[in-house]
Structure 1
Amino acid sequence: MDENDLNSEQRYRLLIEAITDYAIYMLDRGGFVTSWNAGAERLKGYTESEIVGRHFSTFYTDEDRAAELPAKALQIAEQEGRFEREGWRQRKDGSRFWANVIIDPIRNADGELIGFAKITRDISEKRAAQEAIFQSQKMEAVGQLTGGLAHDFNNLLTAILGSLEIAKKRAVRPDVADLIENAIQGAQRGATLTQRLLAFSRRQELQLGSVDVGNLVRGMAELMRRTIGPEVVITTQFPSELPPVRTDANQLESALLNLVVNARDAMPDGGEIVIAAERRSIEAAKAGLLLAGNYLCLSVRDEGEGMDAETLANATTPFFTTKGVGKGTGLGLPMVHGLMAQSGGQLILKSALGEGTTAELWLPVTIDVAATPVSAEEVPFDPAPSAMMVLVVDDDSLVLMNTVLLLEDLGMETIQASSGEEALEILGTGQLPDVVITDHAMPKMTGARLCEEIHARFPTLPVVLATGYAELPEGTAEIGGVVRLTKPFSQKQLSRALAEACQGGRCF
């Protein structure tokens, strides 16, 4: 070997030693390590003296060794000229990382196999980012599906509850009225489930505002203690000052109570639940699924058995539950997930078997001063006048029939239309009703679009827009004379919406 060859080999060795982001080393024909660079030591934790002479299967997990993956990798590299895969690899300290592995065969001038060159790269962060994107896309798809299902269920429940209300009013025998009341309560429980589905799909109606989390948690303390029982202790860890956040206070209370109950259920023998809060900042470069900015991280930590990786990955999937039959709907965490997303934040779950679970609610900080809690009492309205004409618009015949039934039971006259176009034709004949009540989700012309047309042609005609969705096209709320009615609605809620639409004497 001449001096040029020696210089070339020295430069090559210096190059390999200078690379610290990749583990680059050589194996003999049997798979035993014959060289080791600084990147390999940094990545895998072994020094050169510790690893040279040992088999490269040392870096594989027990599961992969049992499946004989190391031998198969060398066989593929020898036969096909290259082996490249991704998988879990193990460091000296036992920790795992997700690796991209390349094995190339090394042959002499005669083509005889003399060993292998192996390159390993840690791509754990890349895999985590890909999984986060995939999870986000999956949840978005499931959210669209559940949102559509919830809307259809709301239509069915509107028809069911309307018919049951009228049947109960007309029931003569008390035992029949009791049976109808049971059916009403069952339908109302179904309405609660659809609200949770809408919460997950980010289509529930929220009253977003400035919320003081510290005051909210203190106000819930007695409720949480009564709910979880004496076996579990709740500890709070809050700094003296916390910034207000932007969310729906009532829904945040429900979400926090749900997490506390989950934490209690994870500790059947009792234990401690820690509710903590701290201010966090997200930089643009590390924003991920959250926008860069300031957040309040509200966390609930338990001392339970924790979750394995599969359970953790499915925890926010609707109807997924590890509780027994009849003990859980599988909609609690999806509801919390939806609330966080709709509030501009994120639900982050951290758990491992034997280490308990921590649920983090990341909520965006608002610069507004925390609002004073508003009383839940409804603003009083005079009853809607019974001597009035109502145009009812809905493409669902069941909902249309039952809305008409509820209105006629109140003594009102009705005109029916099964589409926005038909409603405009009726109005175009000059037969103007006192008020219009329309569904929103209709084909061709939506209820929101119908509201715009009515406002443009008949600006003094009040409209009630019935919908199960939170999100409506921009500008709908600014259309004069439009009152929103959430599905499913009762006769009392329908009457109230009509009274609100008619306030100021517009219906006379």
Structure 2
Amino acid sequence: MPAGAAPIQLSGERRFQLLVDSIHDYAIYMLDPQGYVVSWNPGAQRLKGYSPDEIIGEHFSHFFPAEDRRDGLPQRMLAKAFKEGRYQTEGWRVRKDGSRFRASVVVDTIRDENGAHLGFAKITRDITERFEAEAALRLSEERFRLLVQGVIDYSIYLLDTDGRVTNWNAGAERMKGYTADEIVGQHFSRFYPEEDRAAGAPAHSLDTARREGRYETEGWRVRKDGTRFYASVVIDAIRNESGDLIGFAKITRDITEQRRTREALEEARIALFQSQKMEALGQLTGGIAHDFNNLLTVIVNSLDLLRRRAKDARDLRLVDNAHRAAERGARLTQQLLAFARRQALTPASHDVNTLIRGFEPILRRACGEAVALRVDLVHRPTPVEIDAPQFEAALLNLVVNARDAMPDGGRLTVASGLLEVDAERAEGWGVKPGHFVAVHVTDSGTGIAPEIVERVLEPFFTTKEMGRGTGLGLSQVYGFVRQSNGQMEIASTVGQGTTVSLYLPLGEGVVNADDAPEHGAAFGGYGTVLVVEDEPEVLEIAVELFHALGYSVLTATDGAAALDVLKRPDSIDVLFTDVVMPAGINGLDLAREACRLRPRLQVILASGYPIPATSPQLAGLANAAFITKPYRWSELAERLKSLRAGGNALE
């Protein structure tokens, strides 16, 4: 107001009219008692599109959709406002241009000081944006609710701040067995195993989610029927706009099958690693045994030659002592070769039950008086193709180990049975699927810890005290069984005992092999022998042996040099060659080429890696014999005698 100007005098009615006319966001107007418009503010014109001249005198039902007019909604509103003095609602309204908007409506009854009804005051506000936002939110919430309820493979539910269940989806009911009525309001800790509840796991999970916003874990959970399942669990803290914690969202997934798959894969990985490790150890021990056999060949035969020349009793005693030590070394290499699956086997068809019964007296003596031995054999034929003495040695090894595991006595069972091995199990074993004969040696002894079971087949690994074992017993059994196309398994529980199982392929019939022929006596030979050996010490002792047997000797240090000698016109009666030689022509190739050049040539193959007589590597070699290092001069003489008699020691 300008300085000095007199204030404008306005009546109360005029002031109110100016106030109403200045409001543009609300439609404020009056109706007479029948609902006809008698006033109209600028907010009403802006909201509904009508000017005062267009709408004053018109019935207010003009603003309602046709369906509401047909339903009598305008009349009911006025009747309710007249009766109660006020009526408030929300609904759709229609502008002049026909467009609709969502309106918040208040209708008040107007009376004079005497209570006479003068009409109605009506205030309308456009809430379309808010209504659409709320509708979108409701739709989103409904869709989310339907989504959550439609998920049956996940348990999805909410917890209050104390951990009580506030809602429950169909997946939770399917997974845990509770209906919503049974579980809403209950504490979520009831899904945990007793030992986890005692350890405070439920409280820890909520504390972590409250502190860090999220908690994720895996563990066992319990269904309503008491069964357990392995679960993947995620708990998220839920906070409002102010950051206050209002509860937790919990998602649980049953991963029992995935866990079993993971465990199976891990077991397969461990088995593969163990198999590769055993194979690597086999190659290593086989190589060591081969080299050691070369050394023993020199030692044993040098002692043989010395003994033939020694006269003094003391010298003879020293030579005999050295001989016994060398023989122990030879047995050690045979054990190493057994583990490496390179021992010379003479397989024949035998009935396992017959072998066990025939060997039972020795097994009982090995058990001693403190161990009760029980033999339980299947009442069916059990034919297998095996080397009988090696099988008996393996069985004796297992019985002695079992006896040692029961220092205070106990029970020991040797049992046989039949087992069908499917393709999956056969692949894991590294054998062909089919029927197998099972031999189980079970004791009631101290048992073996799981981490030791994994190592007991390794050569030189032993749990026995110093001086009571070389650690080659089980590895020798393992090598024998694997070389016989079978498998070996060990099951043990600490404090309860151990079962070692041998599985051997079932054969078709039983023809017990004759006993091995006795070694022939040494004899003096004559003629010329070509000795082929790359190790100088072994070559030297072989030359000495053939000289002692009456032969003239030619030598070569590799296959190529030997072929040069064979192509010369010299008379050669015998080829004596090492099988394994440096790069170039090996002993087998040399023998084949030598027989082609000299068809009447006699061949003796020598190796620290014994080759079975049935090996396809030896096919086509006529008038040939095989000898395993370390060989004795008497064995060499026997091979020569057999060849001179026209036999073939490979047949």
**What TM-score results when the alignment is normalised by the length of structure 2?**
0.66
Distance 1:261 1:301 in 2: 12
* Aligned ranges 1:28-427 → 2 under 5 Å: 52-53=188-189, 106=236, 114=248, 117=251, 119=253, 120-121=255-256, 122-123=259-260, 124-287=263-426, 288-289=428-429, 290-367=431-508, 369-378=509-518, 380=520, 384-427=523-566
1:21 alignment counterpart: none
1:96 alignment counterpart: none
Distance 1:488 1:101 in 2: 62
Distance 2:641 2:284 in 1: 35
Q: CA separation of 1:470/1:383 partners in 2, compared to 1, >3 Å: closer, same or farther?
A: closer
Helix, strand or coil at the partner of 1:376: coil
Q: Which residues of structure 1 form unaligned runs of 5+? A: 18-23, 93-98
- Within the candidate set 582, 585, 592, 1:443 is matched to 582
Amino acid across the alignment from 1:345: G
Distance 1:397 1:31 in 2: 83
Query: How big is each residue's C-alpha offset from its partner over 1:81-116, in whole Å with a ceiling of 9 and x where there is no partner?
Result: 99799xxx6788xxxxxx998665646598989566
- The Cα shift of 1:277 comes to 0.8
Whether 2:631 is the aligned partner of 1:493: answer no
Q: CA separation of 1:265/1:425 partners in 2, compared to 1, >3 Å: closer, same or farther?
A: same
Distance 1:27 1:448 in 2: 79
Contact 2:214 2:234 in 1 (8 A): yes
Distance 1:91 1:81 in 2: 19
Distance 2:293 2:250 in 1: 64
- The Cα shift of 1:486 comes to 0.9
Distance 2:644 2:325 in 1: 32
- The Cα shift of 1:379 comes to 6.4
Contact 1:41 1:48 in 2 (8 A): no
- The Cα shift of 1:386 comes to 2.4
Distance 1:51 1:460 in 2: 94
Contact 1:244 1:365 in 2 (8 A): yes
Q: CA separation of 1:29/1:285 partners in 2, compared to 1, >3 Å: closer, same or farther?
A: farther
- The Cα shift of 1:384 comes to 4.8
Distance 1:32 1:188 in 2: 78
2:38 alignment counterpart: none
Distance 1:494 1:209 in 2: 25
1:20 alignment counterpart: none
Contact 1:191 1:488 in 2 (8 A): yes
Q: CA separation of 1:203/1:9 partners in 2, compared to 1, >3 Å: closer, same or farther?
A: same
Deviation larger for 312-321 or 497-506: 497-506
Whether 2:646 is the aligned partner of 1:504: answer yes
Distance 2:160 2:631 in 1: 75
Q: Which has the higher contact order (CA 8 A, sep 6+)?
A: 1
Contact 2:213 2:237 in 1 (8 A): no
| RMSD (Å) for aligned C-alpha atoms | 3.8
Distance 2:143 2:476 in 1: 69
Q: CA separation of 1:11/1:152 partners in 2, compared to 1, >3 Å: closer, same or farther?
A: same
Contact 2:215 2:236 in 1 (8 A): no
1:16 alignment counterpart: 154
Contact 1:25 1:40 in 2 (8 A): no
Contact 1:155 1:399 in 2 (8 A): yes
Amino acid across the alignment from 1:320: F
Amino acid across the alignment from 1:6: R
Amino acid across the alignment from 1:455: C
Instruction: Tell me how many residue pairs correspond in the alignment.
Output: 480
Q: CA separation of 1:118/1:403 partners in 2, compared to 1, >3 Å: closer, same or farther?
A: farther
Contact 1:384 1:495 in 2 (8 A): yes
1:459 alignment counterpart: 599
Contact 2:608 2:628 in 1 (8 A): yes
Distance 1:16 1:227 in 2: 61
Amino acid across the alignment from 2:445: G
Distance 1:378 1:334 in 2: 29
- The Cα shift of 1:28 comes to 9.6
**What TM-score results when the alignment is normalised by the length of structure 1?**
0.83
- The Cα shift of 1:355 comes to 1.4
Distance 2:511 2:165 in 1: 66
Helix, strand or coil at the partner of 1:422: helix
- The Cα shift of 1:270 comes to 0.9
Q: Which residues of structure 2 form unaligned runs of 5+? A: 1-137, 223-228
Distance 1:364 1:304 in 2: 29
Q: CA separation of 1:54/1:483 partners in 2, compared to 1, >3 Å: closer, same or farther?
A: same
Distance 1:241 1:403 in 2: 50
2:19 alignment counterpart: none
Distance 2:588 2:204 in 1: 65
- The Cα shift of 1:187 comes to 0.8
- The Cα shift of 1:484 comes to 0.4
